[in-house]
């Protein structure tokens, strides 16, 4: 089944700007094209402007400057009830006085469809709510209510479906299940989904394209793999997963084209970083390496990695997670870095605290960021 019939188009935000009467600028001249039929995530911490952006697209918030188009149709100042856009609200906002079937048929009825029984049936089947049709919202569980909110929006076959932290109110287990569910439904109906979330794992597992927002701007936009492996700023590096950032000085370049590498001196050891992963022109930079890319081995044994290895590090903390082990390692220059190691059993035990280790990584996994940026930017406390 495909709901995405007829001529639609990409969602295009041009110079979109939001300034509240109290002077707070929530969204700063945002330019963004969201291709038709894609699953797009706006990811960022609270207050980054992602929800405001979504509400402007829905028409629930006035636009200060800029424009919003769907295909060739401009909707910047259209009334919310005249936009081909529907929203799944954060706390669902289901109508408490109506049954599930009535909630779902609310949109079609306002658009003049007298008896939308068949499409209601179809959408309730898609969202596995057929048995709940005559219940009231308060009689349903959180996950079921979430699906009603989705069905109520989907039945209208909007050009763009907006999801505002749709899984935020669910517990972790249900959230993971619903992520898979949402993704399946999006693939089935083929509509454009714009998903706002602060949960990086949620954004990465579901979206084709993720835009990381910070302070009203888009920091970086790309496929989850691209964002994670090649972040352009310390904010993105820290907000998506964890990163070790080590100070380095550029000492030269080698090779050309795709093979070009930048040589960076890191407290006496020279590391090679692919030029496509270098995001600063300055002499100084942050060398970034993800903890799971860091390899360690007790002093004297060989490390399975090409290139230089750093001697003289000491394990200062070991935390065993089961599937993996987190090591905290003090480097010779005093900085502590993190290493996640899969417990494949190859090592046959844990490396005890105090062990001297050599540290290395494959050069293709490292990236170089602007040293003027805050190394702590985007670090979030686990909730």
Partner 1 sequence: MEALQRVFGKNSAYWLIGPAAVWLAVFFAFPMLSLLSTSLSDPSGSPIYGYTMTWELQNYVEAVGDYWPYMVRSLWYAGIATLLCLILGYTLAYAIAFKAGRWKNVMLVLVVAPFFTSFLVRTLSWKLILADNGWLVESLKWLHVLGEDGRLLATPFAVIMGLTYNFLPFMILPLYTSLEKIDPRLNEAAADLYSTPWQRFTKVIWPLSLPGVVGGTLLTFIPASGDYINSDLLGNPNTQMVGNKIQTLFTDASDYPHAAALSVILMVLIVGMVLFYVRRAGTEDLL
Give the interface with partner 1 as residue ranges (CB under 8 A): 58-60, 79-82, 85-87, 89, 91, 93-97, 106-107, 110-111, 152-153, 156
The answer to whether 127 and 178 are in contact (CB under 8 A) is no
Which of residues 71 and 84 has its CB atom nearest to partner 1 in the complex? 84
DSSP 116-151: -HHHHHHHHHHTT-GGGTTS-GGGS-HHHHHHHHHH
Least distance (Å) from partner 1 to the CB of residue 157?
12
Which of residues 156 and 220 has its CB atom nearest to partner 1 in the complex? 156
- Other C-beta atoms within 10 Å of 144: how many? 18
Least distance (Å) from partner 1 to the CB of residue 194?
14
Instruction: Give CA–CA dist 278/258, Å, rounded.
Output: 13
The answer to whether 182 and 150 are in contact (CB under 8 A) is yes
- The secondary structure element, H or E, covering residue 201 is helix 200-206
Instruction: Give CA–CA dist 220/223, Å, rounded.
Output: 10
Least distance (Å) from partner 1 to the CB of residue 63?
16
Burial of 184 (0-12, 13-18, 19+ CB in 10 A): exposed
Name the nearest CA neighbour of 280 among 250, 257, 244.
Answer: 250
Instruction: Give CA–CA dist 7/373, Å, rounded.
Output: 44
Least distance (Å) from partner 1 to the CB of residue 273?
47
The answer to whether 84 and 160 are in contact (CB under 8 A) is yes
Which of residues 165 and 358 has its CB atom nearest to partner 1 in the complex? 165
Which of residues 27 and 149 has its CB atom nearest to partner 1 in the complex? 149
Which of residues 154 and 294 has its CB atom nearest to partner 1 in the complex? 154
Least distance (Å) from partner 1 to the CB of residue 110?
4
Number of H helices and E strands in the chain, helices first, is: 9, 20
Which of residues 82 and 173 has its CB atom nearest to partner 1 in the complex? 82
Which of residues 110 and 117 has its CB atom nearest to partner 1 in the complex? 110
Least distance (Å) from partner 1 to the CB of residue 320?
45
The answer to whether 80 and 59 are in contact (CB under 8 A) is yes
Least distance (Å) from partner 1 to the CB of residue 45?
22
Tokens of residue 23, six digits: 């002077």
């Amino acid at each position: 089944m495909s709901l995405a019939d007829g001529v639609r188009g990409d969602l295009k935000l041009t110079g979109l700007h939001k300034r509240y009467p109290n002077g707070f600028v929530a969204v700063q001249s945002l330019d963004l094209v969201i291709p038709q039929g894609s699953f797009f995530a706006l990811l960022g911490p609270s207050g980054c402007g992602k929800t405001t952006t979504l509400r402007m697209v829905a028409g629930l918030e006035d636009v200060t400057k800029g424009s919003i188009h769907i295909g060739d149709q401009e909707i910047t100042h259209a009334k919310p009830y005249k936009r081909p856009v529907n929203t799944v609200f954060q706390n669902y906002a289901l109508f408490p006085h109506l049954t599930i079937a009535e909630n779902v048929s609310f949109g079609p009825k306002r658009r003049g469809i007298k008896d939308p029984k068949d499409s209601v049936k179809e959408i309730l089947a898609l969202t596995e709510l057929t048995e709940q049709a005559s219940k009231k919202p308060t009689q349903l569980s959180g996950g079921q209510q979430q699906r009603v909110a989705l069905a109520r929006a989907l039945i209208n076959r909007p050009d763009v479906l907006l999801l505002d932290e749709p899984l935020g109110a669910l517990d972790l287990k249900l959230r993971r299940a619903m992520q898979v569910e949402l993704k399946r439904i999006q693939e089935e109906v083929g509509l454009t989904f714009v998903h706002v979330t602060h949960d990086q794992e949620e954004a990465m597992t579901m979206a084709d394209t993720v835009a990381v927002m910070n302070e009203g701007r888009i920091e970086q936009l790309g496929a989850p793999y691209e964002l994670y492996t090649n972040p352009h700023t310390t904010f993105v590096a820290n907000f998506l997963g964890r990163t070790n950032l080590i100070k380095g000085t550029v000492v030269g370049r080698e090779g050309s084209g795709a093979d070009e590498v930048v040589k960076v001196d890191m407290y006496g050891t020279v590391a090679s970083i692919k030029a496509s992963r270098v995001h600063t022109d300055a002499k100084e930079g942050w060398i970034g390496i993800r903890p799971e890319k860091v390899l360690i081995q007790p002093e004297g044994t060989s490390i399975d990695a090409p290139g230089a290895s750093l001697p003289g590090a000491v394990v200062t903390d070991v935390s065993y997670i089961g599937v993996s082990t987190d090591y905290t390692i003090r480097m010779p220059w005093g900085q502590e870095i993190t290493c996640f190691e899969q417990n494949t059993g190859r090592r046959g035990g844990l490396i005890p605290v105090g062990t001297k280790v050599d540290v290395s990584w494959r050069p293709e996994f490292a990236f170089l960021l602007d040293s003027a940026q805050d190394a702590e930017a985007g670090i979030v406390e686990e909730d």
